[in-house]
Structure 1
C-alpha cells in the first residue's frame, strides 16, 4: 500500500472551512458565509436571471466553489469531504441568492446524499414561495442500468459542462426557469463520461489503512470520485489500449446495459472534455490528451476540446473522458437551444477561477484547416560541408563502438546520478547515443557524408541538439558546434590539426559559457585533461590515460556546479571508494570506445 502523506494541520481545524477561507483570499469577486460554508457571487443580479446553485461534498475542487462567478454559478455550498452539505447550509445558499420571481435551479451530482439533502431543501423552498427546480447530473457509463436500477448513473466531470452551459445561458439569454431546466436535461441526457486512475485517493486526516489502494502494477477503470472501486486492470495498460477501452464503453452500441447516448460516429458534432481527477501532472495530462484526440472513433474533429482539472477526487492520479453529443441536443424535445447555442455558452467568458479553459473566438475553432503543426524553419538549412576527407567507414566503426560502449555504461551512470544528481544523466546520454546510431543505420544523407568530418560532426551536433536535453545536452552541443567551426579552419586531417580544433573548441568556445574547470566535478574533469594532453603531446594513449585518471579523481571531489552541488557531502561517499561524476564517466566511455577502434 502506498504511503498516504498529507500536511499536518491543527488537530481541531475544519480543513474544508480553511480551504474556503483561503480560496476567497484570492478572489475579490465572491463572499463566504463561514458558518454555512456557502460561497456566493454578490454581483450577480438574480432578479434578471435564473439563479444557479450547486454544491456537494468537498474534495472535488475546483467544484463547486471555484465555479462561482459571472456567467456560471451564483452560489455553491460545501459539505465535509465526500459528504453532502446539510439542509440548513443549502437553504442558506438559496435565501442568500435566490429571487422568488425569476426562479432558482439547484444542480447536484447524482449521489444519494446529495439528491436527498438538496431535494428536501427544494421542497421546503417551494413551500416558502420560491420558484425552484433541481437537476441531478448523471453522466457516468461505468455503472450499468441493471446494477443501479434504483439510483442511476453517477455524476462525474460532465457536471462542469452543465454548470458552464446553464450559467452562460442564464446570464446571456435571461431565459425563464423552465427553459434553463430543459436545457439542463438536454445536456445531461446527451453526455457520457468514464474515468481511469492509477490509484484511489487518500483523504487528509484519515488513516491510510482505511483505504484499499490499487496495486503497484494495477490501474482502475470506471472508478468513482469517492473511492468507489472500478475494474482492476493488471498490468497497467498501454495508454492507447486503455483509451480504446474507454471509448468502447462510452460509445459502443453493443453494450446495451451501458449504452446511454446514441452517437452517429460519422456525422455527429460533439464536444470533448478531458478531466484531471486530481493527481495527474500537467505534463501527463496533455500527453494523455494527445492520445485521446488521436484515438477518437468519431469522424469529425471535436467542436471544442476542454482540458483541465474540472471535477477532482483529491489527489487521485487519474483522468476522465467526457463526450457531449451536440447534434442530439439540436434534435432534443427538452430545449429549443441548438448546438451553436451550446458552443456559444461554452465559449462565453467568466471570471470564475475554476473554469480554466481560455476564451477563444469561435472562428478559431471553426477553421476547417485545423492542422496546428508547422515545419521548422530549420528544416531546409544548408548543410555545413568541407573539402577535408577521412576514411568514412573507419570513422563510422569507431563512432559505433564509442556509442555502444556508452550504452553499456548507461545503467552505472544512471545509478551514480540517482545518488548524487537528478537521475537523468545516463538517460540523456543514451538518448543522444541511440539517435546517432539510428542515423548511422537509417539516414542515407548522413551515411553518404561520413568521409567529410565537418559535415559528419555538423549532423551529429544537430542530432545531439534534438535528442539530448539538460545541462549535459547543452554542453555537448556547444562544444561540438565550436569543434565544427574550428575544424573548418584545418587544411588537412591529422593528429595536430584535430588536437588544435579540440583545444580551440574548448578554450575559445565552451569555456565562454561555463565556469566549470578541472576539479569542479563535471564532465570537464574528463574533457579538459584529454584535450590538454593531446594538444601538448599529440599522444592519444597518454591523453586517454590522463582523462581516465582525472575522471577517477572525481570520486574525491565535492560538486561545484549543477544540481549535484546541492547534494550533501555524505552522499558522494555513500559507496566504497566514493561516487564518480556521472557526466565525466559518460564522456570517458565515449572517448575510450572511439580510441579503441582507431
Structure 2
C-alpha cells in the first residue's frame, strides 16, 4: 500500500508546526521558533548541570518531548532526518547553559549530529562554557567490521540516557561535569538495542522513489531510524522466532562482531524497554511485549519494563528491544550505583515524551505472580433433567459450525462492503472455540445429552471468543434460551420452539431495538423463531429464515455500523445481504440439514 500523509501548506515549515503544537499542549516549555529550540524556562541551571540534546526531526517525542522537570533543559530540532545547524545549537546553549556549572550535550551517534554538536561544543568552550558530550550508540545491528569509522547508531537507548542524566543532574548537584558525563558514558556502554520493522518509513510531503519498501511477506531486522537498510527476512517469521533471533544478537557472545554488552544470563539485573518505532498500534505493542517477556533469555525478571513510543521514525511499523545491564554498571568507575539508576528512572517528570507511569519502587518489587484465577472458574454447571441424543446433537452442531466456517470468506467480504469487516472473523472465532471444546473439554462432551448444560456451555464459549455486537446478541439470546429450556417439560419441536420464541421476545428484545426490517441478523432469527413457534414445522421455519435473510439485500440499515455506510455500497454486485443474517442462516441450515 502506498504510504499516505496529510497535505500541508506548500511553504509551511512542518517542523516548526509540530513544535508549536507541542508548545500549545505543554505549558511548562518555551519555544524559539527561528532556531527550533524547545527549552524549560523553570529549570535553575545556575545550581545544576544543564542537559541539552537534539538532532533531526522525525523521531518524536525525541527530542522536544523530553524537555521538562528532571529531564532535558533544552532540545534542538533540525529539519527532518537532518542535524540542526551550529547556530541553532548555540542558541540552546546560550539560552540555558551556566558557564560555571557546565553543560552536557547528549547526541545520537550519527555523523551529522556528531560534527555539528561537536563543533558547537568547541566554540562554546572558546567562549568560556564548560561542555561535555555524551554520544549514544546502542544499536547492535551494526557490526564492528561493517562500520569501523562511525560505530554503532543511536536508537531507543537515547531515551534512557536522557532520563537517567536528567534526574541525576537535579539529584546529585555536588557531582561535577566530568562525573555526570561519566554516568552517561557508562549507561551508554551497557545499552543494547535492536529494531525490527515490517516496512520502511515515509516522510510527510516527500515522495522518495528510491525508498525500497519491504515486501508483503518480509520483515526487516536492524532497520535504522532514517530508513537505513537492515537485513530482510523472508518469509515473515513467527513473532516468537523473530524475537529469539533478536535476543541472540542482543545478548549472545557468539557473534563477536556485534557483541557489545556482556550479559550473565543467570544473574544480571537489567532494564527492558520496548519502543514503538512509529506505526505499531498500542494493541500490538503490548502483545509484542508479552512475547518479548516470554522469550527472555535472561533468567531474572527485568527490574523495570517500559513500553511506549520513545524514539520513532514517523510511521515505520516496527518495534525495538533495548536492554540496560544494571549489574555491569556496578563495576563502572562512576559515582552512582545501580539503585541510583533505578531511582532516576523512577523520578517523576512533566516531560510528555517520557510516557511510562512513574511507580513507587516497592510496587516494582511486587510485580510477580499477579495473574489470578477467575472467581468464575468454579461456577456450578447449569443442568436439567431433559435428555437428547448426544451423538446426533454433536454431529448436527459440528456440521452447522463447519458450514458457517465455509461461508466465512463470503461473510467477511459482505461485511467489508457493508460494515467494518469483522463479522466473518467474529463468527469464525466462536465456531472454532466450540469445535475445540468438543475435542478437548471432557466435561462438555459428557454433558451433551443435557440440552440445558450444552447450551449453557456454548454460551460461555461464545461470550469468551466472540466480540462486537454479534457476540453480544448471540450471548444474550443463548443465555435467555438456557433459562427457557430449563423450564421446558420435554425436548419436542414445539417445546424447543416455544423456548426459542420466549428467549427472543422476552429476552433478547429487551436489550436491542433491532427487529425484522432493520437489516441485521434479526431478519434471519425472528422469522425462523416465529414460524417454528407458530407452526412447529422446522422446514417452514428454515424457509422463512432464508427469505428473511435474502430480503436484507433490499433493506435500509437501521442499526450497527452498516447504518453509517453509504447505501450505494449495498447495491454493489447486485445487492449485498446483511453479513450477520447470512452467518446465522448458515448455522441454521447446517444444523437442520441431514448429516
Per the normalisation by structure 2, the TM-score is 0.99
User: Deviations along 1:469-523, whole A, 9 cap, x unmatched?
Assistant: 1100000000000000111111222122111111110000000111111111111
Deviation of residue 360 (structure 1)?
A: 0.6
1:581 maps to what in 2?
A: 578
Deviations 1:542-592 (A, max 9, x none): 11111111111111112111111111121111003x111111111111111
1:558-597 correspondence to structure 2 within 5 Å: 558-576=556-574, 578-597=575-594
Hey, what's the Cα distance between the residues in 2 that align with 1:505 and 1:208? 60
* Counterpart contact for 1:529–1:546, Cα < 8 Å: yes
What are the equivalent positions in structure 2 for 1:197-346 lying under 5 Å apart?
Answer: 197-333=197-333, 335-346=334-345
Aligned match of 2:370 in 369, 372, 385?
Answer: 372
Q: Distance in 2 between matches of 1:214 and 1:422?
A: 27
**1:524-551 deviations in whole A, cap 9, x for unaligned?**
1111011111111111111111111111
Provide the secondary structure at the position in 2 that maps to 1:380: coil
- 1:350 equivalent to 2:349? Answer yes
Match of 1:450 among 435, 448, 451: 448
1:166 corresponds to: 165
Per the alignment, residue 39 of structure 1 pairs with: 38
Aligned counterparts of 1:194 and 1:117: Cα–Cα separation in 2: 26
Q: 1:505 maps to what in 2?
A: 503
Q: Determine the C-alpha separation between the residues in 1 that align with 2:376 and 2:247.
A: 38
Per the alignment, residue 17 of structure 2 pairs with: 18
Counterparts of 1:276 and 1:183, CA distance in 2: 26
Q: Distance in 1 between matches of 2:243 and 2:455?
A: 42
2:537 to 536, 539, 560: 539
Q: Distance in 2 between matches of 1:497 and 1:145?
A: 78
Q: CA deviation at 1:408?
A: 1.4
Q: Residues 203-225 of structure 1: CA distance to partner in whole angstroms, max 9, x if unpaired?
A: 11211314221122211111111
Q: Alpha carbon RMSD of aligned pairs, Å?
A: 1.0
Question: What CA deviation, in whole Å up to 9, does each residue of 1:451-484 have, x standing for no partner?
Answer: 1111111101001000111100000000000000
Give yes or no for contact 1:190–1:329 (8 Å, CA) kept in 2. yes
Deviations 1:67-96 (A, max 9, x none): 000000000000000000011100010000
Deviation of the 1:371 alpha carbon: 1.8
Alignment partners' CA distance in 1, 2:113 and 2:305? 29
- Equivalence for 2:153: 154
SS of 2:573's partner is coil
Say whether the 8 Å CA contact 1:53–1:73 is kept in structure 2.
Answer: yes
Match of 1:463 in 2: 461
Counterpart position of 1:106: 105
Q: Is the 8 A contact 1:50 1:102 kept in 2?
A: yes
Superposition pairs of residues 384-403 of structure 1, within 5 angstroms: 384-403=382-401
Give deviations 1:274-320, integer Å, cap 9, x for gaps.
10001111111111111111100001010100110000011111110
Query: Is the contact made by 2:497 and 2:536 (CA closer than 8 Å) also made in structure 1?
Result: yes
- SS of the aligned residue for 1:351 comes to coil
8 Å Cα contact 1:397/1:597 also seen in 2:
no
Cα distance in 2 for residues equivalent to 1:310 and 1:297:
24
Q: Distance in 1 between matches of 2:462 and 2:505?
A: 21
Say which SS state the counterpart of residue 514 (structure 1) adopts: coil
How far apart are 1:176 and its partner, in Å? 1.8
User: Following TM superposition, where does structure 1 have runs of at least 4 consecutive aligned residues deviating by more than 2 angstroms?
Assistant: none
Distance 1:351 1:597 in 2: 67
8 Å CA contact 1:269–1:303 kept in 2: the answer is: yes
Unaligned 5+ segments in structure 1 are: none
- On the 8 A contact 2:135/2:185 being kept in 1, the answer is no
**Contact preservation (8 Å) 1:401, 1:597:** no
* Residue matched to 1:70: 69
Residue matched to 2:179 = 179
Unaligned runs of 5+ in 2: none
Q: Secondary structure at the match of 2:273?
A: strand
CA distance in 2, matches of 1:372, 1:209: 50
Q: Which residue of the partner structure matches residue 550 of structure 2?
A: 552
Q: Secondary structure at the residue paired with 1:70?
A: coil
Which region of structure 1 is more displaced relative to structure 2, 503-512 or 415-424? 415-424
CA contact 1:558–1:572 (8 Å) conserved in 2: no
- 1:428-457 CA distances to partner (integer Å, 9 max, x unpaired)? 111111111111122110111111111111
